[in-house]
Amino acid sequence: MRNMQGMGSLIDKYKHRTQSAIDDKTICHLFRQLVLAEYGRYGANSVQPTCVRGSSLMVLVSDSVWAGEIWSRRKQLRLSLNKKVGYDYITRIVAHTK
């Protein structure tokens, strides 16, 4: 039984190390791929992830129409992004214009 507890803590440590190993560049790259798949090249040119602040992804959009689109689909985009990451890394997507 003691070995099972040791194995469980080892797995928890590995999960934590794996989850914290992802960086902002990877998150932004995955979000760009997601936008390209959802909206094509026009969307990819109009919606650009800028940075991650805490657990929020900041996204620069070309105009208010794209800001509205990202806002209205923020939950679906966040869930799709977290699915690509493998766990709930991003809790919020914030769109802003230039």
Cα–Cα distance for residue pair 74/78, rounded to 1 Å: 6
> What's the CATH fold of domain 22-97?
GMP Synthetase; Chain A, domain 3 (3.30.300)
Q: What is the mean pLDDT of each run of 10 residues along the chain (98 residues)?
A: 53 49 90 97 97 96 97 97 94 94
pLDDT of residue 45: 97
Please, what's the largest Cα pairwise distance for the chain? 59
Please state, as a whole number, how many other Cβ atoms lie within 10 Å of the Cβ of residue 45: 12
